[in-house]
Amino acid sequence: MRSLISIALLLSLFACGGGGSESAPAQPQEPNAEVEVELSETARKGQPVSLRAKASGLGTISKVEWRQVSGPSINFEQSDSLELEIVPDDNASLSADTYTFEVTITNDQQQVTRQRLSFEVQRAMSSSQAARLLHQATLGPKGSEIDEATGISEQEWLAEQMQLPITQHLPLVSNYPDREEPNQINRIDAWWKASLNAPDQLRQRVAFALSEIFVVSDSNNALRAEPEGMAHYQDILLTHSFGNFRDLLEDVTLSPVMGTFLSHLGNEKADEELNIRPDENYAREVMQLFTIGLAELNQDGSVKLDGQGNTIATYNQDQIEGFARVFTGWTFGASARWSRPSRNFTIPMEAYADYHSQKDKTLLSGVVLAGGQTAEDDMRDALDNLFEHPNVAPFISKQLIQRLVTSNPTPQYVERVANVFDDNGSGERGDLAAVVSAILLDDEARQNSGVIAYYGKIREPLLRTVQFWRELDAASPANWYFTWSLNDSHGQTPLGSPSVFNFFRPDYQPADLLELDIVAPELQIANDAALIGQFNNQYSGFLWNIKELISEPSDKRIMLSLQAHVDILEQQGLEALLDYYDTLFYSGGMSDDLRQTLREVQDIWSSWTPYQQVAFILFTVSVSPDYIVQL
């Protein structure tokens, strides 16, 4: 599409006149000349751009010349016209290119005026490029979303997403009509509703990633009876997905859900007579899992070694005990008193001075908090101490890269993102919006698929289902998403991991990958039982729940609408449908062998209804290795 650049510019005229005596005729008065240039839409790389000057007050124009002053070189035909058409180079750079052109206009009195104009040319993503970005940056893109992102730049898509209002989970927690209180399945129902329908998909994907770092779980513990608290915890992650890591760390620490899960809610100062000692659980995990890890790291995520070639521990028992003392004296907010907690899981914990340790507290980097501070001051200083540790940037950056883009980022990729974590360019540390942008805009994320060995990541089972359900408008007549036994059918439940170590560890290495020295975290849940469960769930979902073939569904039956896909098959043919799937599911990378397999699948079931043919093709897509690996 042609873009027309238009900026109002005032041109200075330089009259050509000679000297003479007092009797020489006066020079013509300089006319009030103006050139207008219009910008009707954003200029895009690889697409025609028209530079148009509208001159007034010049009289008769005898000559027009255009000259490129700066920007990537463009070959263009010089013409004696007020309009110049150029085609900016469709280069690989993700950033916008800035061009400056100069127009020189001469009138019939040989008066010359020159004016320069500068403009930006944005990148335009192809459909395949847009699809690849959205596979990394959403819970699973729909075809319509890929279409909307096609033709704009990655930066523009990210900026638009980051400005969208938050789709919170807590308001979506509904109760059964015949129950007094919601339970765990209602919280999971809310997760599906938000995940499937939220416009702010980037935020939802980042919060999902954070939920696998700042882990809490209502699997087989007291939190199972607190669905609203669990949904509120998810909303904490959503709130801070593009905020500052330090604020996220504090809100997570003060969440009564986290306080219950890692037992620092109700944590008391030491009392030797009563055999009470501060609980050390959160003190360990906030260091090991949420901020710095077990070993000191270089900026690129590699492990530092001492002079004997050994790793260097980030903390010891002294620090564990110090942080355990910090996290004493906190219980439910708005409680009547310490012994009568409110049990309100949706507001931050509050401190009670009588139960807070007054002893010295040994922290990281040689810092010791003197006894006698308030619980609030100790908490602030301790979280600052954690936040400022040099491990935080590479430790968190690498895990976010693994959750969004690739399981085995190069050290250089980790270092580039960690540098942004340390300084977003404006002196701010921990800016997660800048970190997320750095991850998704990095050359390794956008351009190196297929170039770097062992690139990509295993697509988590939940994310596979979310994409198909989003694309196929999954819904039940009663608008419930009751998905019982997700651990059996998917190997994972949102906010339902078996331990604080998540469903899988970021450094999990299957035996087959030991010689390659690479990791595949998601394969930790790919055991025989889980794989069979996923296979059966996908088969039954596609073949037994076709909305168009079910006349009287039960209220809670989740069905998939295949009509739009059947329309493509019947009206445009199989190859058009496979082209659509190539972009939607494979970001333009569908192999010839897989395409042939899908042709054969359709041929095998060609005597069945078009809906069933599409269902079999979709099932084959869902279990294909090319789809399970997100590139």
Domain edges within the chain? 3-122, 461-495+527-630
Q: Which residues pair with residue 498 across a beta bridge?
A: none
CA atoms of 532 and 535, how far apart (whole Å): 5
CA atoms of 126 and 131, how far apart (whole Å): 8
Name the fold adopted by 3-122.
Immunoglobulin-like (2.60.40)
CA atoms of 601 and 613, how far apart (whole Å): 8
DSSP 481: -
pLDDT reported for residue 390: 98
Residue type, 243: G
User: Contact, 56 vs 66, CB < 8 A?
Assistant: no
Q: b/e string for 150-179 if b means 16 or more Cβ within 10 A?
A: bbbbbbbbbeebbeeebbbbbebbeeeeee
pTM for the predicted model, two decimal places? 0.93
Instruction: Provide the token pair at 461.
Output: 């089972």
Tell me the mean pLDDT per 10 residues along the chain, length 631. 43 36 42 51 87 82 92 90 90 89 89 86 95 98 98 97 98 88 96 98 98 96 96 98 98 98 97 93 98 98 97 98 98 97 98 98 98 98 98 98 97 98 98 98 84 88 98 97 93 97 96 93 92 92 97 96 98 98 97 98 98 98 96 91
pLDDT reported for residue 21: 37
pLDDT reported for residue 439: 98
Which of 231, 67, 206 shows the shortest CA–CA distance to 139? 206
CA atoms of 357 and 245, how far apart (whole Å): 27
3-class SS at 286?
helix
pLDDT reported for residue 528: 87
Side-chain half-sphere CA neighbours of 208 within 13 A: 25
Which helix (H) or strand (E) is 498 found in, with range?
Answer: none
Which of 428, 459, 432 shows the shortest CA–CA distance to 630? 459
pLDDT reported for residue 22: 43
pLDDT reported for residue 612: 98
Handedness of CA 289, 291, 293, 297 (dihedral sign): positive
3-class SS at 44?
strand
Which of 377, 332, 338 shows the shortest CA–CA distance to 350? 332
pLDDT reported for residue 27: 44
3-class SS at 605?
coil
CA atoms of 183 and 201, how far apart (whole Å): 26
